[in-house]
Amino acid sequence: MKRIYLDNASTTPIIPEVVDVMIPYLSEYFGNPSAIYLEGRNSRMAVENARKEIALCLSTYPSQIIFTSGGTEANNLALGGVIKARKIIVVISSPIEHESVLKTLYDLSSDGLIKLQMVNITIEGVPDYFHLESLFQANVNETILVSLMHGNNETGSMIDLELVGKLSKRYRAYFHTNAVQTIAYYPMALSNSPFDLLSVSAHKFHGPKGIGFIWVRKDIGLRTMQTGGSHENGMRAGAEHVAGIVGMAKSFRLSMESYPAAIQHIQQLYMQLREGLTKIGGRVNGMRNGNGLYSILNMCFENRFQSHNLLVELDSAGIAVESSVGQSSQVLSKLETAIVSDDIISIRFSFSRFNTSNEIFRVLSIMDYQLNGYSVFKKALPT
């Protein structure tokens, strides 16, 4: 039986079309993009064409795209770079950001370089916007940066980008958003964006691991956080990962092209699984009004056995999902929607356009059997 992969928020399988465009740059086109001879020029052309392709998808200028080694470095560079360049005094963030954001800000705060303030999070996993404005008002005489992720990687809760952007503009603050989970699911025209900096990682949309980028508004400017060469217009030292960049551009374009059909398909899978799991005693963590990220469903259940054992049983049945351990348990605890304890287990299911309805039927049947000892769901068709 074919395995069912529902942990796409963690990483996605790279697709054949992406592998095909990468292979030449892992073999015959091996030149360093900084070299002036033919081999180098070939690699440089591939990098710049990929930058143009991504920029075209985002309705922005290629010069605003800075390639990184992935989402973690993108967040680190965006935050550290703008704090250093703009002499940021106060940073407003939230306790449920990705660790690459939180640990960066905690370090800067503990070193006395910034004053870090946390906005309250509602029970649905979004910022309390009244509290956010009060933090802006309390620091109105300071230079402020706000960093809030677009879509939460554990619960799928989504912030109101336009509202945060308007508040940031009103109080003359800079706005960074981590769009790693959302960029391929919510096409954006960055020429008129409400934020100033955006972080992206390719392996979340069927591209290669180890590559990502940040987008920076033209009038913002960054200070490099690495010492070395003048690569990426002096913003990121180190020879560019040519094959990864080419693969990322291809996977991003394919995601944009598939968007109209993919959104409808994934939303149907989301609702099918959500309704089915609710019938067997599941409860949604995060946004319950349907306004969350449609590719992530986090559900909690009464825990009749240890969460690790359930994951092992699901894995043995051919299902790859993630439970609320590590960072996700901290997120859920802070949301107060499902305090992780011996009585509650939370599982994150995350979809891609390659999942099927038959797979969801099979997951429901196996989940029902594991949790209740029987299944009310009809047997899924072969997959």
Give the whole-angstrom CA distance, residue 380 versus residue 319.
14
206 sits in the region (left: phi over 0; alpha: psi -120 to 50; else beta) called left
Tell me if 296 sits within 8 A of 9, measured CB to CB.
yes
The strand pair at 283-284 and 174-178 is best described as unpaired
Confidence (pLDDT) at 332: 54
Tell me if 240 sits within 8 A of 67, measured CB to CB.
yes
Instruction: Report whether pLDDT(28) > 70.
Output: yes
Give the whole-angstrom CA distance, residue 153 versus residue 329.
12
Summarised one tens digit per residue, pLDDT across range 107-141 is 999 999 999 999 999 988 999 999 999 999 999 99
Read off the pLDDT band of 229 (50, 70, 90). confident
The alpha-helical segments, DSSP class H, found in 124-241 are 129-138, 161-170, 231-234
Read off the pLDDT band of 339 (50, 70, 90). very low
Instruction: Report whether pLDDT(187) > 90.
Output: no
Summarised one tens digit per residue, pLDDT across range 243-301 is 999 999 999 999 999 988 999 999 999 999 999 999 998 988 887 776 789 999 999 88
Confidence (pLDDT) at 306: 53
Summarised one tens digit per residue, pLDDT across range 65-120 is 999 999 999 999 999 999 999 999 999 999 999 999 999 999 999 999 999 999 99
